[in-house]
Amino acid sequence: MIPLREFLHLDRYQSKTAELERTVAEVVSEQNYRRASRHLRLIGEIPVPKSTAHRWVMESDCDTIETDGKLVDVLVADGTGYKRRPEKTAGKNNRGELRVVLGVRTDGTVVPYGSWSGESWEKIGEEIHAKVGRSGPIAKGLVSDGELGLAEGLAHLVNEQQRCHWHMVHDLDYTMWQESASKQERRTTQKQLAGILGIELPEEDFEQVAEEDRAEIEQATEEAEEKIEQLVVELAQKGYSQAASYVANAKDRLFSYVRFWLRYGLVTPRVSSMIERMMREIGRRLKRIAFGWSEKGAAKMARIIIKRITSAGEWEAYWRKRLRISGNVVLVYRGIIAA
């Protein structure tokens, strides 16, 4: 037995330190494995082949995301496509689907639940329930875009659902374009929809808002919902049946944020801008500077990115534990003794 090795908690045939593993994980979360290997070799003089870096990351559990089981105020969810490793099975394409779910508390704290590839929203909802350890809703509201199956798959996790306003206005343009609407008519309709959706809530605390002001907001919401119904009729009359169905299917979830405020006094986001920023960063890594991912590798890399961005303290704590930084050893520089 070697006392020093035991004291430093080193394995018998250890090939790397935890510090090196952390460096590799952080570098490859920002650039592809080939560039990361070259970067480590040229800048840090660390000769780590890309295949070795990939193996280290895939074997690491640094992407594990823990949840405290406490309720959050809002869930935000989104998905994105990426180029996965082509499958040899006939009829299979190389498009992968990555999905992410985050929670937000009143104080702004972001609670990541994880990332999944190749899993349905229904399955994801079941896994989140199991992770949190609750059978009922875990959040008061859900903000999402119109991705097929998302609202239905996560419905049991929340009390209210809010459709992302930005996606509504943005995607209406594409829907009308598919039905050969002119650019001017598409822009006019987008502007009309954006104007209907623009109900602003008071900036002061809920308790300070007078009852008559709350009544006015409730009335404004009812009028906006009537205008949405009129817009659906207008689109159908003009022959834009797909656009009419698109707006009609979303109308019940467009003003949930107002009802949420009237009921709980809490302001929820109308747009999923927070998760959009997250998805852009994930997309940059998974789509712009790499391709040919396995589903396991894509989900793992996304979890590393999510953890580093939303839970920097937890990321740091994980590596402090791995590095066994406890303060039990103090090194004192005494000087240099000449030979």
Are the beta carbons of 83 and 293 closer than 8 angstroms?
Answer: yes
pLDDT of the residue at 194: 92
Please indicate, yes or no, whether the overall pTM of this predicted structure exceeds 0.85: no
Write the CA distances from 172 to 91, 161, 164, 191, 271, integer angstroms: 31, 20, 12, 11, 15
The model's pLDDT over 154-164, given as tens digits with 9 standing for 90+, comes to 989 988 888 88
At residue 270, the pLDDT reads 62
How many CB atoms are closer than 10 A to CB 328?
A: 7
Q: In what order do the strands lie in the sheet with 139-144?
A: 110-117, 95-104, 72-83, 139-144, 158-163
With pLDDT > 70 as the criterion, what percentage of the chain qualifies?
Answer: 86
Q: How far apart are CA 268 and CA 259, in angstroms?
A: 10
Distance CA 241, CA 283 (A): 33
Which has more confidence, 135 or 180? 180
Lowest mean pLDDT among 31-45, 75-89, 195-209, 320-334: 320-334
Amino acid identity of residue 172, one-letter, is: L
Higher pLDDT, 204 or 250: 250
Helix (H, G, I), strand (E, B) or coil at 251: helix
SS3 21: helix
pLDDT tens digits, one per residue of 5-42? 555 555 555 567 888 899 999 999 988 888 888 888 88
- Centre a 10 Å sphere on the Cβ of residue 138 and count the other Cβ atoms it contains: 25
Q: Tens digits of per-residue pLDDT, 228-250?
A: 999 999 999 999 999 999 999 88
Question: Could you identify the residue written with the tokens 């004192």?
Answer: 332
Collapsing DSSP to helix, strand or coil, 289 comes out as coil
CA-to-CA distance for 56 and 197, rounded, in angstroms?
49
| CATH architecture label of 66-164+271-309 | 2-Layer Sandwich (3.30)
Whole-number average pLDDT of the chain: 84
Q: What is the DSSP string of 158-217?
A: EEEEEE-HHHHHHHHHHHHHHTT--HHHHHHHHHHHHHHH-PPPPSS-GGGS-HHHHHHH
pLDDT value at residue 325: 64
Q: Is 74 helix (H, G, I), strand (E, B) or coil?
A: strand
DSSP tag of 85 = P
pLDDT of residue 225: 93
Q: Is the pLDDT of residue 184 over 90?
A: yes
Q: Encode pLDDT of 277-287 as tens digits.
A: 788 888 888 88
Residue 93, judged by CB atoms within 10 A of its CB (0-12, 13-18, 19+), counts as: exposed
Domain boundaries, the chain: 1-60, 66-164+271-309, 165-258
Instruction: Report the distance separating Cα 170 and Cα 273, nearest Å.
Output: 13
